[in-house]
Chains A and B, each alone.
Chain A
Amino acid sequence: MSTSTRMHRRRFLGTGLSAAAIAPTVIPSSALGLDGAVPPSERIVVGGIGIGNRGTYDLGCFLEQKDVQFAAVCDVKEARRQAVKKMADDRQKNTQCTMHVDFRELLDRNDIDAVLIATGPNWHALAAVTAAKAGKDVYCEKPCSKNIAQSLLLRDTFRRTGRVFQAGTQRRNLPHFAFACELARTGRLGKIKRVYAHPAGMSAATSGWLPPEPEPAREVVDWDMYLGPAAWRPFNKRFLDGFNFEKGGGLVGGGVLEWGSHCVDLCQWAVNDRSPPSSYDPPKDGQLVSRYDDGAELIFREKGWIPLGSCPVRFEGETGWVEAGDSGKIVLSSPELMAGRTVAEIGGYPATFHVREFLDCVKSRGRTKGNADAACNAHIACHAANIAIYLGRTVRYDTAKHEFIDDAAANRLRSEALREPWLM
């Protein structure tokens, strides 16, 4: 076999996810800090903030882990508080899960090590930053930020506080996606020319206001806390779908941020979590083309995918390509790329491995795959693309200064004031 076709295992294993990497890191109990091998010292005490449909799924992944004790839930909706407490108490066979309306009460508890944040996207960044400042490690659902400024604040806060952050980008801990990214990152595809992400809709709108409806009692739904950092508007129950409410802050709608925070995130991983692209064209013929400084392209593409399930990504290099999706399958330009490797086929994008990696890093203080720096770059790419869509023209982005070049309108869309008294 020629040298040119030999696989460089070290680069693979060094940066990717081998089968072993799915297994927990082994850290002896004595290293966990309470200087004793008694079981409580091995537990990570977790609280939940905003636990709706997605959060309930995530919580299930946490509760599967033997070293997790879920101690408290915070939700502005009474029904959710009760449901989550029941779920946690039933699983843990106790009645110790406490309920809170204001997440700051939960963060004030010294016994809580980490929090799961699964509120609507309006709250994600602010809750995560507040939790980090309160000394908590954070698993935060995506999208993690509403705009570019929040993405940077999130990154800087987690650096400053030294807390562990895991974005809810669970595909980073699925073998086939990890392998696809690894092929791109380690040069097996040659120099990367294009990476493709599926945005599931490319539109941008501003968040708005609906006709007022009678506001529920604060114990049932605390509307003021639900609004949180979003500009004030009267209660309307249609806003209570946290999924669509104030998702992108200044710009809402479409799947560039919503789905991009998965697919673009994987593309960013494929290019070594480098700085985001520096130019973004508006969509044309179902494609939005953005370009990195070295000329490689990140393309948001609606159609043309091999049917591999949702969240497809494709990475094209000078010598090969790979495509992967939520079915757990990958398609390669050459079977040779698969040589020497067995990649588990796990469909359905479970978050279990991602949660486990987060917990391992809570213990080791290591860097998660969905760390705040990586999440920041991926989210900025999505926000900048949304700005290009909104303005209907090409925007150029200085990745060092984090500002658009000679573009006052685009720069104004980088951030949005938080409603008083909230600050990040």
Chain B
Amino acid sequence: MSMIRLMLAAALVAAPGLVPSALRADDAGREAELLAVLRSDKPEADKALACKGLAVHGSAAAVPDLAKLLDNERLASWARIPLEAIPDTACDAALRDAAGRLSGKLLVGVVNSLGVRRDAAAVDLLATLALDPQQDAAVAGPAAIALGKIGTVAAAAPLDKALASPAAAVRLAAAEGCVLCGEHVLAAGKTAEAVRLFEAARKADVPARRKHEATRALILARGAGGVPLLLELLAADDRASRTMGLVVARELPGAEADTALAALLGTASPNLRPLLVEALADRGGAIVRAAIVQAAAKGDRDVRLPAVRALGRVGDAGSLAPLLELAVGDDAELAAAAADAIAGLPGDGIDAAISRQIPSSSGKKLVMLLNLAAQRRIDVLPQVLEAVQSPDAAVHAAALATLGEIVDLERLPVLVQQAVKPRDEADAAAALKALKTACVRMPDRDRCAGTLAAALDAAPDATKIALLDIIGEVGGGRALEAVAAAARSGDEKLQDAGTRLLGAWMTADAGPVLLDLAKTMPQGKFQDRAFRGFLRIARQLGGTPDQKAALCRQAFAAARDADEKLFVLEAIRSVPAADTLALAVEAGAAAELREAARLAAADILTKTGDSIPGGWEKAAPLGVNRLKIEIVSATYGAGEVQRDVSDALRKRVGPTPLISMPSPAYNTCFGGDPAPGTAKKLTIRYTIDGKAGEAAFAEDAPIVLPLP
């Protein structure tokens, strides 16, 4: 769901067809008021909503009036809302009574309600409806399901009979009723009765899917005794049976099921085995784990691959050795899956085993072990430092990457050195990547940034920029100092990097630095970047609206030309506060700023309403006045393809001609693109202070209604 739709939903104060929350449970007289509505000549709409109110406030006293509505095709569905909700047996009696006189859909409605209420006294009535051979299946079916929902032993008896109905739809419903009823009686401890019901549904002349539901219920009801039936399902020739078998294989608890399913993995058909591996992995536990290890080790590759992957979820220390073997094997896909699985194995024992193997390994295996050390963050720093010196490029690269994952702050200079004095260009990139990985996870950001800053002077030019980027990623006060120094340096490349990083800084402490740069740097790209960066911080991170407004005023004061002032006026439109309004009014004195100031003032007043004392009066000189604006109609589209967007605009219109939408993109605001690939326009008919106007806007243009 798009955010725009959501914002519109959030603004649903008086949306169509909604009745605001006026009902309160502590409103003692409410029932009488609502009943008075039902007894009056008021329109159906009022009576319908009175029914909704009675769902909360009604009692047995409301039942006679509600019962009368059960014969009313328009209001019966409203009446059943309270009749299902009121916790009084009078509702049951009224529904049973209505069932005796109604027919067709209205009868189905009360039958369904009796099922929802689980009215045990309705069993005979529902049994008659379900079993009457003359009865329409559209009634008999719901009656059978209602019996299932009631879920007593008494309700079960007619369900048995309904399973033999000549009508297929009734048999289908009766089978559903049997499963529902069986679940209820099982929960009541009557296992034998439940099993009987499930068995009956399984044997009925109903579609396979209903039989499978009954079979599932039967297997679960029997527990360990259901295992043979589960195996039967999984061994079936048809896909639907196996599908349900795989579901139950995940559900049926117990060691008996574990053992049987583990054994099946060795003997099942090739089609089933990969799927069974998935199901076994979902079960977990020692028995199935052993079976999955075995399946991973040898045999059909279509089974091995899912088995290896499954060990990532259910494996343990015992799985390490076979997985290590696979991880250095020739089958690249199996090897990658095995390495990934090892990365997920639990326990410090795994880490120790991997650590022990590193010194005696080389080549492909050493690379794999180093990668695992990185992924598992195993403390093998001495071994990794040794591997960094390896002449084997693959080992060296893996060691660098591992260093990035495991090095601590004390040893960080080792990695910095690798970055500053790399073996070659490719090595420089790898070292910088590892350095960044290490730095962004250092808890002490200032010390980390200090270490990096100290390396700047000695670094080659290209590396300096990369180090600055990492410093920017690290963040914090020391990083800000280093980046600010770069921005203030005489080196254009450092200035570029410094202002770029400051422009994207995510904490407000960069504000004073940016403002100072905006004031002191020579006019140009970097100064402009600093100015805009300061404004961004003012708007996004400046604190309360008043604090943001103060920062915007500083920016306006620092602006060197009209363009920068216009930029500030645009920015304050999203900072609705008394001081930004005052700033707009002051700025409007200059002719070249007047239109932007007028838009800013209008936007601020639209957003703040009357909360700024004297705001409208202050803005009047700019031509911003409180207006009564009504949207008569609005369409958006092209040619004959037009979408009615009146409501969307009505929700956004305020007391000024400016209509501020949640997004500049019309397609986003108006529920999608009504005419893809075609130039569209928005046409609005409106009144301002009673005078009619009409305006058309090109797609995505700002919406400012001309005064008629």
B459 / chain A contacts, CB cutoff of 8 Å: none
> B interface vs A, CB < 8 Å?
1, 3, 5-7, 9-13, 15-21, 23-25, 44-45, 48-49, 51-53, 55-57, 73-78, 80-81, 83-87, 105-106, 108-109, 112-113, 115-116, 138, 142, 145, 176, 179, 183, 207, 209, 212-213, 216-217, 239-240, 242-244, 246-248, 250, 270-275, 278-279, 282, 302, 305-306, 312-313, 340, 343-348, 351, 374-379, 381, 405-406, 408, 440-443, 445, 540, 647, 671-672
User: How many residues of A are counted as interface, with CB atoms below 8 angstroms from the partner's CB atoms?
Assistant: 96
A34 / chain B contacts, CB cutoff of 8 Å: 239
A63 / chain B contacts, CB cutoff of 8 Å: none
Q: Taking the complex as formed, is A304 at the interface, i.e. its CB lies under 8 A from any CB of chain B?
A: no
B243 / chain A contacts, CB cutoff of 8 Å: 33, 162, 365
How many angstroms between the C-alpha atoms of A139 and B340 in the bound complex?
A: 30
B346 / chain A contacts, CB cutoff of 8 Å: 8, 10-11
Contact A232 B75 (CB under 8 A): yes
> A interface vs B, CB < 8 Å?
1-3, 6-14, 18, 20, 25-28, 30-35, 53-54, 133-135, 141-142, 160-162, 200-201, 203-210, 230-233, 236, 238-239, 241, 243-245, 250, 252-255, 258-259, 262, 307, 310-311, 326, 334-336, 338-340, 364-367, 389-393, 408-409, 411-413, 415-423
Contact A255 B10 (CB under 8 A): yes
How many angstroms between the C-alpha atoms of A3 and B313 in the bound complex?
A: 22
How many angstroms between the C-alpha atoms of A409 and B53 in the bound complex?
A: 11
Q: List 13 A-B contacts (CB under 8 A).
A: A1-B381, A7-B377, A25-B306, A33-B242, A34-B239, A205-B18, A206-B49, A208-B18, A326-B3, A336-B441, A412-B87, A415-B85, A417-B83
A389 / chain B contacts, CB cutoff of 8 Å: 21
How many angstroms between the C-alpha atoms of A162 and B18 in the bound complex?
A: 37
How many angstroms between the C-alpha atoms of A258 and B19 in the bound complex?
A: 18
Kindly identify which residue among B25, B145, B408, B441 contacts A338, using a CB–CB cutoff of 8 Å.
Answer: B441
A418 / chain B contacts, CB cutoff of 8 Å: 77, 112
B406 / chain A contacts, CB cutoff of 8 Å: 1
Q: How many A-B residue pairs have CB under 8 A?
A: 287
| Nearest opposing residue in chain B for A262, CB measure | B1
Contact B17 A245 (CB under 8 A): yes
A53 / chain B contacts, CB cutoff of 8 Å: 671-672
| Nearest opposing residue in chain A for B346, CB measure | A10
How many angstroms between the C-alpha atoms of A232 and B671 in the bound complex?
A: 27
How many angstroms between the C-alpha atoms of A306 and B347 in the bound complex?
A: 36
Contact B216 A160 (CB under 8 A): yes
Q: How far is the CB of B349 from chain A (nearest CB, A)?
A: 12
Q: How far is the CB of A337 from chain B (nearest CB, A)?
A: 8
Contact B408 A209 (CB under 8 A): no
Contact A409 B379 (CB under 8 A): no
Contact B49 A208 (CB under 8 A): yes
Contact B142 A231 (CB under 8 A): no
Contact B441 A208 (CB under 8 A): no
How many angstroms between the C-alpha atoms of A245 and B273 in the bound complex?
A: 47
Contact B116 A415 (CB under 8 A): yes
Most chain B CB neighbours (cut-off 10 Å) among A9, A207, A411: A9
Contact B343 A13 (CB under 8 A): yes
Contact B440 A307 (CB under 8 A): no
A9-B375, A34-B239 as given contacts; A232 in contact with B74, CB under 8 Å: yes
| Nearest opposing residue in chain A for B115, CB measure | A423
Contact B212 A409 (CB under 8 A): no
Contact B87 A209 (CB under 8 A): no
A3-B348, A244-B9, A326-B3 as given contacts; A209 in contact with B443, CB under 8 Å: no
